[in-house]
């Protein structure tokens, strides 16, 4: 039964996009219970003829849901198609994946995005490495230990953090890092701003996963004379593990596409730079931003290609999250 | 090994709600004691005070005394975690750890308490599974998940898990209520066997079961909803079922209420 709970989990986080699809609108069997085709059949002797009005309402509801579905789909397909068609050809060149933009001007073709991909990955991973312990431990505190006023306050803070616009997070770190501490704008400062955005996401998703772990398992462990902290480490966390990983991957995907803090704190460079404290460091969003206003074709092409690369990266993380959710969950 | 339980004048609370009042009873070592009574009269609540599981619930607290031989379970300086190692528990619904194999489920109590050594663990796992009458059914798939067993097998797995840490007392809260008659019989047989080694307390709604497995029976009742549950009568099972001294007990057993 606990495996069911873990599966519910997957639905809880991963399947959000699916909810845009009107349930039942696409699958045929739904007509069976709607009574829509009843007019053509001979009326049932017991239940009589389905009311005409209900049939009409049923069709109307279905049409409205379909329209809403298409409406939601149009911009999505449009964006994907534009980015794909404008950006794909650069991605097919091996140079894109092996070179940086060093020494390449807007006028010239060539060069790649390695510097930006590397930067995005390094900053994303650093952010995750800092955020995951903080987020997971906060969630453990809230679910397993948190009682009374302090826990309520923490939970409220997390709610507030969830609502912070990314540019505010960026400016806040700027105020602390640059204005107050007098330090340079560097990749690490970007990571700090991203941590502010990622922690609440991880706290909330981990909290949900921990709450889904049945209390009976905790009690079974206590009844064996296992202390609480060990019960959490060895029973609760493993049971919720795949759900937590999924939450982390989705949070990471979100944070990697974040732009505002990068614009404020992470100055762009065309060369490869891997030092988080070394000042200039390229990322995919800042690479896009760099040539955003260019009208020269080689630069415009690179903007589209960088956008497509970023989308692919985020997509990959999302897929990884789903795979973990599906195959990592406890099976019977 | 098995120990005597001596409870005197025990009150059990959930926050300010008094769930059980004034229980006094003695449970002899190597005997089976059954708790019967209508739903909500505090059988589970009282049972859980015998291994300090009650205080896991926020607001749960206890007044009175529970002695295990000459040790006061609620004495100052007594570690509840150590108490639970001595007094094991089996729950109403089978609850094997879903992330663990059959082997790891049985070894969980030892492993999680830091006991290592494959040889020792192998020994304990085999012994406990034999003890729970499950060995023959699972010996070829010890590394398969414990959740893949049938309900009755899972419950016996939970019993194996509980006896693997060698407790002195075994508490069982309606261990058969989720099981079919065959599995129920298997577990009842098991209880009769375990009696030679452990002190066993079992909660049950099944009168026949109480009559079959227990040496003494305790009848709990509550005056009205919202009032605390009380121990009405405790005596030899034979006496309770043939000639109870309280009218309410007789009414309950003969099915006239509750
Ligand atoms: N976690 C809890 N918090 C507050 N009150 C509780 C809690 N658990 C049980 N109670 C209350 O304590 C009383 C006794 O409950 P308990 O579960 O011990 O009854 P029971 O005799 O085991 O019943 P059943 O035969 O249905 O299992 C009931 O009034 C119940 O509402
Ligand atoms: Mg109960």
**Each residue of B105-143: pLDDT tens digit?**
999 999 998 888 899 999 999 999 988 889 999 999 999
**Each residue of B8-44: pLDDT tens digit?**
999 999 999 999 999 999 999 999 999 999 999 999 9
Is residue A87 located within the same domain as residue A102?
no
Tokens read off for B189:
């047989």
Rg (CA), chain A: 25
Best of B10, B16, B43, B175 for a ligand 1 pocket test (most atoms within 8 Å of beta carbon): B43
Separation in Å, CA of A121 to nearest CA in chain B:
32
pLDDT at site B224: 84
Contact between A220 and B158 using a beta-carbon 8 Å cutoff: yes
In the three-class reduction of DSSP (H, G, I as helix; E, B as strand; rest coil), residue A48 is classed as: strand
Low-confidence ranges of chain A (pLDDT < 50): 1-39, 331-332
What's the domain count of chain A?
Answer: 3
pLDDT at site B258: 47
- Work out the average pLDDT over B136-152: 91
| Domain end residue (candidates: A34, A50, A66) | A50
Chain B residue whose CA is closest to A328:
B99
Evaluate whether B61 touches B14 at the Cβ level (below 8 Å): no
Q: Is A79 left (phi over 0), alpha (psi -120 to 50) or beta?
A: alpha
CA dist., res. A296 & res. A153, Å (int): 53
Of B95, B99, B113, the CB nearest to A220: B95
H and E: helices and strands count for chain A: 14, 0
**Each residue of B41-68: pLDDT tens digit?**
999 999 999 999 999 998 899 999 999 9
Contact between A224 and B82 using a beta-carbon 8 Å cutoff: no
* H or E stretch at B211: helix B207-213
What's this model's pTM, rounded to 2 decimal places?
A: 0.81
* Residue to test with chain B: of A2, A220, A230, A239, most B Cβ within 10 A: A220
Is residue A25 located within the same domain as residue A125?
no
Is residue A82 located within the same domain as residue A112?
no
Is residue A22 located within the same domain as residue A106?
no
Q: How many CB atoms lie within 10 A of CB B178?
A: 16
The hierarchical CATH code for the domain B5-96+169-253 is 3.40.50.300
Is residue A102 located within the same domain as residue A65?
no
CA dist., res. A262 & res. A277, Å (int): 14
CA dist., res. A253 & res. A246, Å (int): 11
Contact between A230 and B112 using a beta-carbon 8 Å cutoff: yes
CA dist., res. A1 & res. B229, Å (int): 32
Is residue A208 located within the same domain as residue A303?
yes
Find the domain containing A70 and state its range: 58-92
CA dist., res. B210 & res. B32, Å (int): 9
Q: Quickly tell me which residue has 């577990």 as its tokens.
A: B187
Is residue A18 located within the same domain as residue A82?
no
Look at ligand 1, atom 4, and give the residue with the nearest C-alpha: B14
Tokens read off for A200:
């609440």
- Gap from CA of B43 to ligand 1 centroid (Å): 8
Q: Quickly tell me which residue has 């009005």 as its tokens.
A: A53
**Between B214 and A279, residue with greater pLDDT:** B214
Is residue A170 located within the same domain as residue A268?
yes
Evaluate whether A144 touches A212 at the Cβ level (below 8 Å): no
Chain A residue whose CA is closest to B114:
A226
Evaluate whether A309 touches A113 at the Cβ level (below 8 Å): yes
Look at ligand 1, atom 24, and give the residue with the nearest C-alpha: B39
With 0-12 / 13-18 / 19 or more C-beta atoms within 10 angstroms meaning exposed / middle / buried, residue B77 is exposed
State whether ipTM is beyond 0.95: no
Separation in Å, CA of A196 to nearest CA in chain B:
32
Q: Which atom, in ligand 1's list, is nearest to the CA of B205?
A: 25
């Amino acid at each position: 039964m606990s495996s069911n709970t873990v599966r519910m989990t997957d639905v809880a986080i991963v399947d959000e996009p699916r909810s845009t699809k009107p349930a039942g609108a696409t699958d045929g069997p739904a007509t069976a219970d709607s009574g829509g085709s009843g007019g053509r059949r001979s009326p049932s002797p017991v239940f009589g003829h389905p009311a005409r009005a209900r049939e009409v309402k049923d069709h109307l509801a279905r049409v409205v849901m379909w329209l809403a579905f298409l409406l939601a789909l149009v911009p999505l397909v449009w964006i994907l198609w534009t980015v794909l068609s404008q950006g794909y050809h650069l991605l097919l060149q091996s140079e894109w994946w092996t070179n940086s933009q060093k020494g390449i001007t807007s006028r010239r073709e060539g060069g790649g995005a390695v510097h930006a991909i590397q930067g995005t990955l390094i900053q994303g991973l650093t952010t995750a490495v800092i955020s995951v312990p903080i987020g997971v431990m906060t969630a453990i505190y809230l679910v397993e230990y948190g009682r009374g006023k302090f826990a309520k306050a923490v939970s409220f803070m997390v709610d507030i953090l969830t609502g912070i616009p990314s540019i505010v997070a960026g400016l806040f770190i700027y105020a602390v890092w640059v204005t107050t501490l007098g330090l340079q704008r560097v990749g690490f400062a970007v990571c700090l701003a991203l941590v502010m955005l990622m922690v609440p996401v991880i706290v909330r998703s981990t909290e949900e996963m921990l709450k889904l772990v049945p209390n009976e398992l905790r009690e079974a462990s206590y009844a064996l004379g296992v202390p609480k902290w060990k019960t959490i480490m060895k029973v609760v966390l493993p049971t919720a593990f795949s759900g937590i990983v999924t939450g982390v991957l989705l949070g990471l995907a979100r944070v990697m596409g974040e732009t505002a803090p990068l614009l404020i704190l992470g100055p762009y460079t065309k060369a490869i730079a891997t030092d988080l404290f070394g000042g200039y460091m390229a990322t995919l969003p800042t690479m896009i931003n760099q040539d955003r206003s260019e009208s020269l074709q080689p630069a415009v092409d690179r903007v589209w290609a960088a956008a497509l690369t970023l989308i692919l990266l985020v997509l990959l993380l999302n897929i990884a999250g789903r795979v973990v959710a599906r195959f990592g969950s406890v099976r019977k | 090994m098995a120990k005597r339980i001596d409870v005197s004048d025990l009150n059990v609370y959930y926050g300010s709600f008094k769930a059980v009042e004034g229980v006094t009873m003695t449970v002899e070592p190597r005997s089976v004691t059954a708790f019967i009574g209508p739903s909500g009269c505090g059988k589970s609540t009282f049972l859980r005070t015998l291994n300090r599981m009650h205080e896991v619930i926020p607001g749960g607290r206890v007044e009175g005394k529970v002695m295990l031989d000459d040790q006061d379970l609620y004495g100052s300086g007594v570690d509840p975690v150590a108490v639970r190692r001595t007094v094991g528990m089996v729950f109403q619904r089978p609850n094997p750890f879903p992330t663990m194999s059959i082997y790891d489920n049985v070894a969980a109590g030892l492993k999680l308490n830091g006991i290592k050594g494959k040889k020792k663990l192998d020994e304990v796992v085999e012994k406990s599974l034999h003890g729970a009458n499950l060995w023959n059914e699972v010996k070829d798939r010890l590394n398969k998940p414990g959740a893949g067993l049938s309900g009755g097998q899972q419950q016996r797995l939970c019993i194996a898990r509980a006896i693997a840490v060698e407790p002195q007392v075994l508490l069982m809260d309606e261990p058969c209520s989720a099981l079919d008659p065959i599995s129920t019989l298997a577990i009842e047989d098991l209880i009769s066997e375990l009696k030679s080694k452990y002190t066993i307390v079992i909660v049950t709604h099944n009168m026949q079961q109480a009559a079959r497995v227990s040496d003494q029976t305790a009848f709990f009742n509550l005056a009205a909803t919202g009032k605390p549950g009380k121990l009405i009568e405790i005596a030899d099972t034979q006496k309770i079922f043939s000639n109870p001294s309280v009218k309410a007990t007789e009414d309950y057993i003969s099915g006239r209420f509750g």
